[in-house]
Amino acid sequence: MSNILLIILAAAFAGLLYACRLLQQKHQLLQALQENFNRARCELSQHEAQSGELNYEITQLRIQASSLKVQLNKFSQYQHVVDIEQYVLTRRLQADSFIEMTKLNAEIMLDDVKRMIAQVREFLAQHQQQVQDSVERKAQEKLQDYYAHAQALQERRDIVQALERKIRGDQQQYFFPHPRLLEQLIDGYSEADAARHLQAVRSRIQAANASGQVAECHYVDESRCLAFSALVTLAFNSKADLYLAQLDGANLGQLLQALQDDYQLINFHGNHFSHSHIHESYLNLRLEELKFAALLQAAKAHSVQEQAEKLLN
């Protein structure tokens, strides 16, 4: 059994390593995308720097235009120098045209860079969420499989232990001293309290049997399902009633363990009858019945002992 648990732990560890490796690969992909995003940001900074240089050139051209205007004003008195005026006008038109083209190109480049950055950010966000969801989903599926497998192994181990106890008949190792066990189970109950509680528990047991809430079956045919449920119910109730009849002042711990073993074994065999099984809530009711029946016996014995002591005194 320990080898099986080691194999399960190894498989779980391998699954976790695989999940970590997958997370590392996704993390590397995210780092690559982040580097692309940083590169795009760097290019945007370069474009902004180029835009600043263009603005500087525009300013210089405007200064030159202003200088040309000053020169034009100086030479305006010379009407005969038409070539100079035409030259200044041409240069001014060229400067204005260059300024407008530079502004247009800068705006287009800036819009393209902003759009690329927005696309990269959106892609990073979507891809990161998809990777995270995928990894979490796979990890949850693996953990669920490991948990179901471990739970099945635990149930098999409980069944094997119950069978071993039934075969060896050494359930005395589960015996607890009767007075200490009763003190741990119920503290401060009088005989009347124990009787009332025992009656309430038995009423709940009778109600569960009357309403068919003792066992459950997954067979499609309703009549066979009821028959299988009645079969496991009869088997379990027979055991519980037998242990109740065998109850004395010293075997409560043994009978509690025996009833739990019967619950494990009956449910195990019930799997061959369309997964017929006793509800755990009904097991708890029958266990509580045994406990309070033992408490009532102890309370009655204590009461008889006190009366005997009074008579002797």
Per-residue pLDDT tens digits for 232-245:
999 999 999 999 88
Supply the pLDDT for residue 206.
Answer: 93
With cut-offs at 50, 70 and 90, classify the pLDDT of residue 9. Answer: confident
With cut-offs at 50, 70 and 90, classify the pLDDT of residue 183. Answer: very low
pLDDT surpassing 70 at residue 283: yes
Report which of residues 258 and 76 the model is more confident about. 258
Supply the pLDDT for residue 288.
Answer: 93
Report which of residues 197 and 79 the model is more confident about. 197
Report which of residues 200 and 303 the model is more confident about. 200
pLDDT surpassing 50 at residue 173: no
Supply the pLDDT for residue 76.
Answer: 64
Supply the pLDDT for residue 11.
Answer: 79
Supply the pLDDT for residue 205.
Answer: 94
Q: Which of 68-77, 162-171, 190-199 has the lowest mean pLDDT?
A: 162-171
Report which of residues 263 and 151 the model is more confident about. 263
- CA 286 – CA 244 distance, rounded (Å): 9
Supply the pLDDT for residue 150.
Answer: 44
Domain with CATH 1.10.287 in the chain: 2-158
pTM to 2 decimal places: 0.45
Q: Please, what is the average pLDDT of the chain?
A: 77
Q: Is 148 exposed, middle or buried (CB count within 10 Å of its CB: 0-12, 13-18, 19+)?
A: exposed
CATH topology for 2-158? Helix Hairpins (1.10.287)
